[in-house]
Amino acid sequence: MGERAVKIGYSFWGFLGDGITDTPDGGRSHRRTLIDGLIAAGHTLVFLQQDRDRDDAHTPVTGPYAWNPGLPDLDALFLEWRWPIPGRTDTPCTAPGHTCDLHRQQQLLDHYTHRHQIPTLLWDKDQRLAPADPLRLLPQLTVCEPALHPRHGATSLLFPVADHTLDTADPTALAARPRRWPLVYVGNQYGRDAAFGTYFARPAQHLDHVVAGRWTDTGPWPHVNFIGRIPFRQGLDLHARAHATVMLAPARYATSGQYTQRLFESVLAGCAPITPARYRSAATVIPGELHAYDGDHVADITRTLISMPTADRAQLLARCIRRLDPFRLSRQLHTIGQVFDQPQGADNGNLTHHTTRNR
In DSSP terms, 328 is beta-bridged to: 161
Read off the pLDDT band of 246 (50, 70, 90). Answer: very high
Q: Is the dihedral of CA 87, 88, 91, 96 positive or negative?
A: positive
Q: Whole-number mean pLDDT of the chain?
A: 93
Q: What is the pLDDT of residue 345?
A: 44
Q: Which of 333, 264, 322 is nearest to 26 (CA)?
A: 264
Q: Which of 168, 195, 197, 207 is nearest to 302 (CA)?
A: 207
**What secondary structure does DSSP assign to 165-181, as a single string?**
HHHH--HHHHHHS---E
Read off the pLDDT band of 25 (50, 70, 90). Answer: confident
Q: Which residues contact 61 (CB under 8 A, 6 or more apart)?
A: 16, 17, 32, 53
**What secondary structure does DSSP assign to 331-350, as a single string?**
HHHHHHHHHHHS-BTTTTB-
Q: What is the pLDDT of residue 226?
A: 98
Residue 359 has pLDDT above 50, yes or no: no
C-alpha 197/C-alpha 243 separation (Å) is: 20
Q: What is the pLDDT of residue 4?
A: 67
CA 116 to each of CA 82, 137, 239, 252: distance values in angstroms, whole numbers, following the listed order: 21, 16, 45, 33
Residue type, 7: K
Q: How many CB atoms lie within 10 A of CB 106?
A: 11
C-alpha 149/C-alpha 154 separation (Å) is: 9
C-alpha 199/C-alpha 196 separation (Å) is: 5
C-alpha 315/C-alpha 301 separation (Å) is: 16
Read off the pLDDT band of 95 (50, 70, 90). Answer: confident
In DSSP terms, 80 is beta-bridged to: 123
Could you tell me the pTM of the whole model?
Answer: 0.93
- Strand order across the beta sheet in which 44-47 lies: 44-47, 7-11, 76-80, 120-123, 141-145, 155-156
Residue 342 has pLDDT above 80, yes or no: no
Read off the pLDDT band of 237 (50, 70, 90). Answer: very high
Residue 211 has pLDDT above 80, yes or no: yes
- What integer is the mean pLDDT of 105-132? 97
- What integer is the mean pLDDT of 23-37? 93
What does the pLDDT look like over 272-289, one tens digit per residue?
999 999 999 999 999 999
Strand blocks (E) in the chain:
7-11, 44-47, 76-80, 120-123, 141-145, 155-156, 181-186, 209-212, 242-246, 272-276, 291-292
C-alpha 253/C-alpha 150 separation (Å) is: 10
Residue type, 12: F
CA 80 to each of CA 58, 150, 247, 264, 317: distance values in angstroms, whole numbers, following the listed order: 22, 16, 23, 20, 31
In DSSP terms, 272 is beta-bridged to: 244
Q: Which of 205, 292, 190, 201 is nearest to 251 (CA)?
A: 190
Q: What is the pLDDT of residue 348?
A: 33
Q: What is the pLDDT of residue 259?
A: 98
Query: Which range among 22-36, 112-126, 163-177, 247-261 shows the weakest confidence by mean pLDDT?
Result: 22-36
How big is the CA angle at 226 (ends 245 and 268), to the nearest 5 degrees?
25
What does the pLDDT look like over 195-206, one tens digit per residue?
999 999 999 999
% of the chain beyond a pLDDT of 70: 94
How big is the CA angle at 275 (ends 251 and 155), to the nearest 5 degrees?
55
Read off the pLDDT band of 343 (50, 70, 90). Answer: low
- What integer is the mean pLDDT of 212-221? 96
- What integer is the mean pLDDT of 52-73? 96
Q: What is the pLDDT of residue 351?
A: 41
Q: How many CB atoms lie within 10 A of CB 219?
A: 5
C-alpha 43/C-alpha 35 separation (Å) is: 10
* Backbone dihedral angles phi then psi of residue 314, each to the nearest 5 degrees: -60, -40
The 8-class DSSP code of residue 112 comes to I
